[in-house]
Chain A
């Protein structure tokens, strides 16, 4: 409103002083009871003995973590060797999530930059176009991708019809398909935070750099990217973290050979494996990795704030 919002008083607003605790209580109760407590119980479960048809027996053991890291032979009596199966699944997940993050950044940064530098009216339209897929059901989007890239899907059909290829390109059920799915799923998550950062970027800085003989490339790498770094980091986190624990893309596009952490965990509860303590242990390891990433993020944000 005209002349309405001036500078703040600088002091924290406290119209409802004294009501803080009762107002925050429902959020504390719901999230505390139904997320924090469950995670703690999950931690406990990861140290319990498995029951064969799912569930647990209340006997403490390190078996779940042992199974994750060590191979003791079929009957568990051989000297322990490093068990690579699960470590490789985790490594593959990190690699896939990291690659998806890099690809999203390579496409997302120019897109965010381009949109943020449009005149206000057309900017709204571009932004709207980027936002729509963000709101579309992830399952639907993954199914669409699966449909598109199938061996006898429309893409291969057209390429065959056009005579560009002689036999279908086999993408489905490969690591490439998973990569494509992750990239496609989380691309909008990269664009939106970078867009927000570029929108706040002061273009006088570019002018100052150009005035001081910087080339376009030097301006981009020395001035613009450092200025919008918080947005870039936020975008990378928003792509990397969900990619790491993704289930739909690897399950629907990757098939049995391209297991990621999400599928491994799911299988312990919903699938044939039925090993709850092991699933809980894998989930705890995933959670720990994500928390490490987030702590680095929080520290980089705190540095930026200083």
Chain B
């Protein structure tokens, strides 16, 4: 008897998937490997060492990168917290408040930062701060980051809220909870996986941003991406590869965290 054909399989798709993963990972893995290169030249392999990691933390440019990292983290944490709070409120309005004036436009507005190309946002924000005479610096970066983090925080939060039937809040109200108590004691805990995902996504998006930051950062203020970009303009040096590898690890850590946040949600429901 002939083997039953598996309709889900297409010849070559497996190979293309492997190729896809190879293309995505090869450059990252090679940079990670070369970050342990002992040689002064970035392409000639001179044996394994941690000298470039030492250089990152204690070398000539260490202070510059440390300051940039502190700036990046401060901005990312603050922007992600602000965006998560705003997005949670917005999701509650969009999904739990029935109809209200401007609801139709609100959805488009929340997603606007996703639709406008980054370079356009960057230009517009720079012109805006210049027009109102506001000196660019950490504050301007922060405000710009909050704006484009909102839709990224909103998406997982709204998706989660959509999955929670309003009957839980009704049950809470039926059991004498005020609307605030129903939110705090029932909706918010059930929302937590979505809120954590939203926060992590907003955080990584803020940490990732180069274009907008580059426009609104002002003189002397650097975040990690702008500092790295500035350094790369003079050529790729081994310490850049060490920093890149460290950032790669941070990213992997975040995907893992976000993955577990999602799992937490599945177990609850």
Contacts and interface: CB of A to CB of B under 8 A. Distances in A.
Report if A and B touch in the complex (beta carbons < 8 A). yes
Given A117-B9, A147-B42, A34 B244 contact: no
Given A148-B26, A261-B119, A143 B16 contact: no
Interface string B104-131: 0010011011011111110111111011
Interface of B: 5, 7-10, 12-14, 16-17, 19-21, 23-28, 30-31, 34, 42-43, 85-87, 89-90, 92-103, 106, 109-110, 112-113, 115-121, 123-128, 130-131, 143-144, 146-147, 150, 163, 165-167, 169-170, 173, 179, 182-183, 187, 204, 207-208, 210-211, 214-215, 225, 228-229, 232, 236, 240-241, 244, 247-248, 251-252, 254-255, 259, 268-269
A220 B10 CA distance: 9
Contacts of B90: 23-24, 26-27
B93 A187 contact: no
Given A13-B96, A14-B97, 16 more contacts: A9-B165, A13-B98, A13-B169, A15-B96, A21-B100, A24-B102, A31-B147, A39-B124, A55-B130, A110-B16, A111-B17, A114-B17, A139-B228, A157-B43, A245-B118, A290-B117
B102 A21 contact: yes
Interface of chain B, main secondary structure: helix
Contacts of B170: 15
Contact of B259 (A24, A128, A203): A128
A305 interface: no
19 contacts: A15-B173, A15-B187, A16-B92, A16-B183, A21-B102, A24-B94, A24-B102, A39-B124, A117-B8, A128-B259, A133-B24, A135-B252, A147-B27, A147-B34, A150-B236, A184-B27, A241-B115, A247-B119, A280-B127
A24 B147 contact: no
A207 B17 CA distance: 24
For A8, A31, A117, A241, the residue with the greatest tally of chain B CB atoms inside 10 Å of its CB is A31
Interface of chain A, main secondary structure: helix
Contacts of B119: 245, 247, 261-262, 265-266, 283, 286
A212 interface: no
Contacts of B150: 27, 30-31
A68 interface: no
A114 B13 contact: yes
A135 B269 CA distance: 26
B116 A131 contact: no
Given A147-B42, A154-B43, A269-B126, A140 B247 contact: yes
Contacts of B204: 135
A27 B182 CA distance: 23
A49 B246 CA distance: 46
Nearest to A205: B7
Given A139-B210, A187-B20, A110 B10 contact: yes
Contacts of A141: 27-28
Interface in A30-47: 30-32, 34-39, 41-42, 45
Interface string A39-62: 101100100000000010000000
Interface in A176-190: 184, 187-188
B247 A245 contact: no
A144 B169 CA distance: 49
B7 A206 contact: yes
Contacts of B211: 247-248, 262, 266
Nearest to A207: B7
Contacts of B210: 138-139, 247-248
A126 interface: yes
Given A45-B127, A133-B25, A144 B17 contact: no
Interface string A142-167: 01111110101110010000000000
A56 to B, nearest CB: 9
Contact of B96 (A16, A113, A138): A16
